[in-house]
Structure 1
């Protein structure tokens, strides 16, 4: 099972977030500040530290957490492709902010100033993504190992459990807060699922992540009878005749393209019809289905 086409194609927001998380984690690890990460009652209520709140959103506390966390963030790029970068940006902001509010509320209830109660890292976003992963990503294959039933989604769940238990109590609480945030988004609280950021924000990250490569347009093919030159100059000679290019026949979509669309959560029949319309172009077909769902 994969998250669609390899790399960060059509997922500039995810790419920016993954790079930022990796840079923050490595930078703090080199500076020896990773052991100081994690939110506590004192950091929030007695001696508020804004820098800790910011770093707690991006930086992981350890290398194993970073490996599992970045892998899950990379896989969940499928949701940005499915709903578009603008709506996915809203999903990130909503998940991070709501899960952080839940974490602050939990720390206020526990009131333990002697220890860091919450580990750092984008746990809110990661575990909020498991909600649409559970409901919207279909199972492609099933198999058995030693009599135990598994599916292609099982490996993602196992990676999530590993991350959830990485710091035991300190990581379980942020994970639960992320699941709650994802559930509220799924319930469309305040119509949040229809909200989207301005187009220029996604365009900025798209240009930042993938510099535009302008491809030259092919010259128009013309069939000319008679001598070359301007018809107005050579009066009385044969006039230039332009024949329209023949319309390309519909392309039967490949099985790989259909599988990619299905892995994004689309119905197989709808995916096939969109691919036929888009002449087997996955990106165009995805946009067709997204536009159809938004109306």
Structure 2
């Protein structure tokens, strides 16, 4: 199972977040300080060490957690391709802030000053994404192993379970807070799903992060996927590059249809979009995103 086209094509925010998390985890591991980044009641309410919030959100406490966490974050770039980098940035901020607030409430209620109850790492974002993954990403294939029916989504759930239990109760608490944050986002609490940042914030990540190693696309297609062009201009540009009378529609390859389905789109809609886009998967993605936003 994959999250669409390989690499970070049309997913600069995911790329920047993964790079930052990896670098900080390695840095704190070299300094042997990664185990000291977990949050406790004493840190937040007595010493007021609020500086720990940022590294605790990005830094995993162990290398196994880093590997499973990066695997999940890499797959969840599919959501950025679905909703665009701007709204995905809003999703990240909402998930992180809400989960941190819930963690602070839990620490205040438990009031255990001598123990780090919450391990470090982007658990809020990962488990908030798992909520969207459960509800919004359809099953594309099913297999049967020793009498058990397993879907292609099972591997993501197993990685999430491993991360959930990685530090026992220290990882269970932030995971639960992330799940609650994901439910609030999906319920559109505070109308968060209609919020957008100023465009320069999302576009900053495309300049900040390293070049993608995945398949490349034209600048126009990238701008379309990030939502930087108005709808009318995008339609005119599409019609100019892909006139409907130019060629006879070609049946889309099953691989392209499966890729769009793995990104959460309906199979029939994905096929029609590919026919309209002359089997250009980037343009087809833009068409589907436009249909969802109207």
1:34-61, CA deviations, whole angstroms, 9 ceiling, x for partnerless residues? 1211000010000011221111110000
| Aligned equivalents of 1:57, 1:283: Cα separation in 2 | 32
Q: Which structure 1 segments of 5+ residues have no match?
A: 217-245
1:171 matched residue in structure 2:
171
Distance 1:215 1:276 in 2: 19
User: Are the counterparts in 1 of residues 19 and 209 from structure 2 also a CA contact under 8 Å?
Assistant: no
TM-score of the aligned structures, taking structure 1 as reference length: 0.86
Q: Post-superposition shift, 1:159?
A: 0.4
* Other-structure match for 1:235: none
Residue-pair matches, total: 266
CA gap 1:262/1:21 in 2 versus in 1, 3 angstroms: same
- Partner-residue secondary structure (3-state), 2:149: strand
SS at match of 2:35: helix
Gap change, CA 1:210 and 1:280, over 3 Å in 2? farther
Conserved 8 A contact 2:124-2:174: yes
Give per-residue Cα distances to partners, 1:228-284, cap 9 Å, x unaligned.
xxxxxxxxxxxxxxxxxx924333321111000000110111111111111111121
Between 1 and 2, higher relative CO (CA 8 Å, sep ≥ 6) is seen in 2
Q: Is 1:77 equivalent to 2:45 in the alignment? A: no
CA deviation vs aligned residue, 1:65-101 (integer Å, no higher than 9, x gap): 0010011000101111111111110000000000000
Deviation at 1:209, TM superposition (A): 3.3
Q: Distance in 2 between matches of 1:37 and 1:109?
A: 20
- How far, CA to CA, are the matches of 1:214 and 1:286 in structure 2? 12
Instruction: Tell me what 1:252 maps to.
Output: 251
| Rounded Cα–Cα distance in structure 2 between residues aligned with 1:210 and 1:36 | 29
Counterpart CA distance in 2 for 1:249 and 1:208 is 42
Q: Alpha-carbon deviation of 1:210?
A: 6.0
2:122 is matched with which residue? Answer: 122
Cα RMSD after superposing both structures: 1.8
CA separation in 2, counterparts of 1:199 and 1:281? Answer: 26
Consecutive aligned runs of 4 or more in structure 1 exceeding 6 Å deviation: 212-216
Residue 157 to residue 21, structure 1, CA distance change in 2 (3 Å): same
Q: TM-score with structure 2 length normalisation? A: 0.87
Q: Who is 2:230 aligned against?
A: none
CA distance in 2, matches of 1:272, 1:210: 33
Match of 1:289 in 2: 288
* Structure number having the greater helix percentage: 2
Question: Rg larger in 1 or in 2?
Answer: 1
2-11 or 247-256: which moved more? 247-256
Distance (whole Å) between structure 1 residues aligned to residue 251 and residue 194 of structure 2: 33
Q: After TM superposition, give the deviation of residue 199 of structure 1 in Å.
A: 2.0
Give the 5 Å matches for 1:47-66.
Answer: 47-66=47-66
CA distance in 2, matches of 1:23, 1:284: 34
Q: 2-side partners of 1:251 and 1:201: how far apart? A: 39
Report what 1:147 is aligned to: 147
Partner-residue secondary structure (3-state), 2:252: coil
Instruction: Give the deviation of 1:157 after TM superposition.
Output: 0.3
Separation in 2 of the partners of 1:96 and 1:281?
35
Q: Corresponding residue for 2:260?
A: 261
